[in-house]
Amino acid sequence: MTPDQTPICYIVSDSIGETAELVVKAVSSQFNAQDCEFRRIPYANDIETIKEVVQEAQHFNSLVAYTLVDPELREYMEKSTREYRIQSVDIMGPMLTSFQKLYKKSPKLEPGLVRKLDESYFKRVDAIEFAVKYDDGKDPRGILQADVTLIGVSRTSKTPLSMYLANKRIKVANLPLVPEVKPPKELFQAPKEKIIGLVIDPYKLNDIRKERLKTLGLRSQANYAKMDRILSELEFCENIIKEVGCPTIDVSNRAVEETAQKILHMIRGREENE
């Protein structure tokens, strides 16, 4: 190895190596290191892989930067790079030690957790955006794309349920059933097990709608809260649910969280049977 050789930075990770590469490139930019060659070695989960990297690196003007959560692999990397007089940087080790002292407990030592957290976050964001886009029957095409579609008359908690489930990374569309509006064809094209009908006691719905009118500053005697109107809507809803052939949940005396857990249980059961 000679000092005038083009520098090579080996980025070794037990996951895909994105974190280590970002750190290395951020630092190298401070030196205008445009001639530096970066070689990423992902999924280095055994000593043999690390040994191969070190044996190659000894022949170049090199630096080994690594993120390894396994203490045995970190120790081997440190020992072997020192033995071959290769510059090395343990990016994750010192931080793991500091957090261990901070939390007073041992780390999980599971590679790739940051990526898993990121994927979970973006799935939740996608699900929330989906719920907003396909809320209240705005676009019936969402019914065919949804993990689950909620149908029912007004004030059966379709929107709150959609948002709650979206935070669990479930893509939900919801559709209000109104006698004057013919349901979209997509409702009958989607798999019936992906549709859930929300039903409610008429007297409970009457109370809910009266309260809703009050908050809007409207008279509680409006047609929206009249019992004959409510019974007509519920009958229409029941007929559509029978035609679709989907399961139902009675939301009369259930909190949103309780109904959501029941829906999640139904989704998990469906997935196990697929």
Q: Please classify residue 29 by burial: count the beta carbons closer than 10 Å to its beta carbon, then call 0-12 exposed, 13-18 middle and 19+ buried.
A: exposed
Looking at residue 264, the DSSP 8-state letter turns out to be H
SS3 state of residue 116: helix
The reply to whether 19 sits in an annotated binding site is: no
The reply to whether 153 sits in an annotated binding site is: yes
The reply to whether 155 sits in an annotated binding site is: yes
Distance CA 132, CA 126 (A): 10
- Tell me which residue has tokens 């949103």: 256
The reply to whether 157 sits in an annotated binding site is: yes
Count of residues in the chain: 274
The reply to whether 156 sits in an annotated binding site is: yes
Distance CA 174, CA 195 (A): 9
SS3 state of residue 67: strand
The reply to whether 197 sits in an annotated binding site is: no
> CA 183 from chain center: how many Å?
30
The reply to whether 149 sits in an annotated binding site is: no
The reply to whether 154 sits in an annotated binding site is: yes
Instruction: Enumerate the known binding-site residues for ADP.
Output: 152-159
Binding site as annotated, residues: 152-159
